[in-house]
């Protein structure tokens, strides 16, 4: 009896196959719960990424706006250069600025004075050349009796050029001078105003002994130049030998001096 009741309690195999399964609600709820959890996590992750990107873009734009606004408030000079560099450039401009009033540089350029006596062939000694101050140029320098006189002391460049020429005279009765051994020498002297009793100092000497053919036109030039320190009141002059052979053209024979100015004077 008890065994029959137990067997009737148990389901047969057909009922087990066709009947509704036990605990079906629990089996259908588990997959849905897992999907819900995974979807929630995915949505949370996307929201975190989106919020991070939005915060980064917002901070970047804010920093850029702050940089631009602060740059616009600064002066242009402060943006381009540092304060100490700007001060250095200002000091450099002040140092290189030229004075408003430019000082006149002392100079002299004098052509030879004519006429020259070409008949005085016997004069073989050296003589001082006289120059034409009327057709020359003098600036803060004086001229007197063949001498250039310095008004302002300093370093000067002194130069001199003399040309000698000889050609056959057309007149038949004119005695032709002997120029087969003519010494053509140019001397430049420095005369100190503080030592008037002392012999002038020879600065430059140049020339040649020419052997000319008196049947043709002949010419020879001497040119010299050098720097020398001259004091106020000092004089310089030029002597030559055989002065009767000098070329009277101003382009061939001239004498001059130029003060070598400082950077302020040449500005």
Best CA proximity match to 143, nearest among 218, 228, 53, 254: 254
pLDDT tens digits for range 113-159: 987 776 666 666 889 999 999 999 999 999 999 999 999 999 999 99
Q: CA-to-CA distance for 41 and 22, rounded, in angstroms?
A: 32
Cis peptide before 182 (omega within 30 of 0): no
Best CA proximity match to 186, nearest among 250, 246, 119, 116: 246
Best CA proximity match to 228, nearest among 208, 200, 252, 254: 200
The two three-digit tokens of residue 59, written as one number: 């901070």
Burial label for 121, CB within 10 Å (0-12, 13-18, 19+), is middle
**Can you list the residues of the chain whose pLDDT is less than 50?**
9, 14, 22-26, 63, 66, 76-81, 84-85, 263, 266
Q: Which residues are 92's β-sheet partners?
A: none
């Amino acid at each position: 009896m008890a065994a029959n009741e137990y067997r009737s309690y148990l389901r047969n195999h057909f009922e087990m196959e066709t009947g509704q399964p036990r605990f079906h609600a629990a089996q259908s709820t588990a997959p849905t719960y897992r999907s819900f959890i995974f979807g929630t996590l995915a949505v949370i992750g996307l929201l975190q990424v989106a919020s991070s990107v939005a915060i980064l873009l917002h901070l970047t734009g804010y920093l850029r706006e702050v940089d631009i606004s602060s740059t616009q408030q600064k002066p242009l000079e402060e943006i381009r250069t540092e304060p100490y560099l700007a001060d250095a450039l200002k000091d450099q401009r002040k140092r290189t600025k030229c004075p408003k009033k430019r000082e006149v540089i002392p100079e002299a350029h004098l052509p030879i004075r004519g006429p020259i006596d070409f008949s005085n062939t016997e004069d073989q000694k050296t003589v001082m050349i006289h120059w034409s101050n009327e057709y020359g140029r003098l600036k803060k320098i004086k001229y007197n009796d063949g001498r250039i006189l310095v008004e302002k002391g300093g370093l000067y460049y002194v130069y001199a050029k003399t040309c000698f020429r000889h050609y056959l005279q057309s007149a038949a009765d004119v005695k032709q001078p002997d120029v087969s051994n003519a010494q053509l020498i140019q001397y430049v002297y420095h005369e100190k105003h503080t030592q008037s009793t002392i012999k002038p100092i020879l600065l430059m000497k140049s020339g040649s002994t020419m052997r000319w053919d008196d049947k043709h036109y002949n010419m020879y030039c001497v040119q010299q130049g050098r720097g020398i320190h001259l004091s106020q009141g000092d004089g310089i002059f030029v002597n030559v030998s055989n002065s009767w052979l000098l070329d009277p053209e101003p382009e061939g024979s001239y004498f001059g001096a130029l003060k070598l100015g400082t950077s302020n004077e040449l500005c």
